[in-house]
Homo-oligomer: A and B are copies of this chain.
Amino acid sequence: MLTAIGIYKRIGVLAKVNAQNPEITDLFIELHQVCRNILASVRRVALISKIPDKEYFVFQNEKKNSRAINSDLYIDDVLTVETTINYLINNDLRNTSSGEITRALYTMAISFCAVVDLEKSGDQKTPGTFFEYFASHWFARTLSVQPQTAIRVLNLDRDTSLPTDYIFDLGDNRPKIHLPVKTSTRERVIQVWAHQRVLDGVYGTGRFLGMLVCLSETKTDQKKLEVTDICLPEQWRAYQLFIAQLYRVYYLDAPSKYLALNNVFPPIHVKPLGEFFYEVHDLFQNT
């Protein structure tokens, strides 16, 4: 059996060729099993939560703590996760729900991140790259489109290629999806609006729907064993007003301060990721 990192690397190789490959789904399920076996042998320690109405814990081995894990979203039973994923990949959405899909995807993503947290010191790159593979796989399968990560920019006198986040081209007369993927955003999030602005400028506003996918915004104080979330909703509003418009922001563990942006005017549409699978076909009909 491959190690967790071995499976992660195999997914990376396959995703470059064909991110819709069903073998990748199987590898994510296998990766989840491997991670859960590792996590079954370490302790869970409850955190003091400074986030209203949310409880968190960490996995802990002799040396280290994992990142904070949302107790309500984390599914203890591995089979329940796999059942939900099967409903998702068979497009049998009536037998599950947005909430169950969000929890299943959260559990799979955070389990791998926790394993890396416990094994490597300060490695942010592996969880970040993993989460890019993970999020883009479900979008690629759902949309039946292979994402690209560069677009042509016409500078009149010569063409250049601009590296981008994932772009899903849905074909003529339909929008393209600009899909930045982040485990957390913090102060770097302005880049997402700036990239959207470049796409709007190059191709015209409305051609690319910006959909940001995030894991969570928790920050853990490892000494006090306290968890809080870092949210900058007023800055998001300024970016949405003055840089460009994001069409959706999807979270696996959505902070309530960002969900509240649905209720301001003009709103920013922040949703749990599971809702994407229920709204996807309406989204691209007549936008």
Contacts and interface: CB of A to CB of B under 8 A. Distances in A.
B238 A202 contact: yes
A44 interface: no
Nearest to A159: B234
Interface stretch (A15-23, A90-98, A125-133, A192-200): A192-200
A234 B163 CA distance: 11
A51 interface: no
Contact of A242 (B193, B201, B237): B201
A80 interface: no
A238 B200 CA distance: 12
A242 B190 contact: no
A153 interface: yes
A274 B243 CA distance: 32
A86 interface: no
A243 B202 contact: no
B242 A202 contact: yes
A232 to B, nearest CB: 9
A79 B139 CA distance: 62
A234 B201 contact: no
Interface of A: 153, 155, 160, 162-163, 188, 190-191, 193-195, 197-198, 200-202, 234-235, 237-239, 241-243
Q: 6 closest pairs, A vs B, by CB?
A: A201-B242, A194-B194, A160-B234, A198-B242, A190-B194, A197-B243
